[in-house]
């Protein structure tokens, strides 16, 4: 009996490591026929082949003792994300772009800007014409300061630093 449960556990494990999510229908556990138990036992003892053992697994799936869940598209969960204002961001001739320059996040995610530069910056939401909007507006952020905003709507949102208006970044929410 011990060996039977060992083999059944093994077969469950074999299926668990495949990418198909499975669940074992324990309500049907009494419906496991005697020959299935024997097949598992004999496979464990090396009496029957792997092919025969797999036929038995096939039987368990076809008779819904083991059920295979359909694969669903994963729903994007909100995340906590970060945009770094890198060292040298103030320099108009430098490459100190916001990192990432276009942050892509699911709806409901929060974004934290972190000032890693040596001078203060701020974060101001702007419209397509580059005018400041009231959506999100940080105070001046000194080195090491953070500013957080949560994006509850889909869209592509632009921002800039009013001290260094050549620095423009995007947050894409979908
Ligand atoms: Cu700035």
State in Å: Cα 102 to ligand 1 middle.
17
The answer, yes or no, to whether residue 157 has pLDDT greater than 80, is yes
The answer, yes or no, to whether residue 13 has pLDDT greater than 50, is no
State in Å: Cα 96 to ligand 1 middle.
11
Helix 2-16 vs helix 34-44: crossing angle, to nearest 10: 80
The answer, yes or no, to whether residue 9 has pLDDT greater than 70, is no
State in Å: Cα 40 to ligand 1 middle.
68
In DSSP notation, 99-161 reads BSSEEEE-TT-EEEEEE-SSS-B--EEE-TTS-EEEEEEPPPB-TT-EEEEE--S-EEEEEE-
State in Å: Cα 166 to ligand 1 middle.
9
The model's pTM is 0.59
DSSP state of 163: S
State in Å: Cα 94 to ligand 1 middle.
13
Closest listed residue to residue 100, CA positions, set 113, 118, 91, 117: 113
Identify the architecture of domain 80-173 in CATH: Sandwich (2.60)
As residues whose CB is below 5 A from the ion ligand 1, the structure lists 121, 161, 163-164
Phi/psi for 65 (5° steps) reads -75, -45
pLDDT one-digit tens code per residue, 59-79: 777 777 777 666 655 678 999
Domain ranges of the chain: 2-68, 80-173
């Amino acid at each position: 009996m011990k060996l039977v449960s060992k083999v059944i556990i093994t077969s469950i494990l074999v299926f668990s490591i495949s990418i198909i999510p499975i669940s074992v229908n324990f309500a049907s556990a009494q419906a496991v026929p005697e020959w299935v138990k024997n097949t598992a036992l004999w496979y464990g003892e090396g009496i029957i082949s792997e092919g025969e053992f797999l036929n038995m697994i096939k039987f368990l799936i076809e008779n819904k003792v083991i059920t295979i869940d359909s694969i669903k598209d994963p729903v994007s969960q909100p995340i906590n994300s970060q945009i770094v204002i890198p060292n040298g961001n103030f320099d108009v001739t430098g490459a100190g772009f916001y990192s990432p320059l276009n942050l892509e996040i699911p709806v409901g995610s929060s974004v934290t800007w972190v000032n890693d530069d040596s001078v203060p910056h701020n974060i101001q939401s702007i419209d397509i014409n580059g005018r400041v909007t009231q959506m999100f507006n940080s105070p001046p952020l000194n080195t090491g300061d953070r500013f957080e905003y949560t994006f509850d709507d889909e869209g592509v949102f632009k921002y800039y630093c009013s001290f260094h208006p050549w620095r423009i970044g995007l947050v894409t929410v979908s």
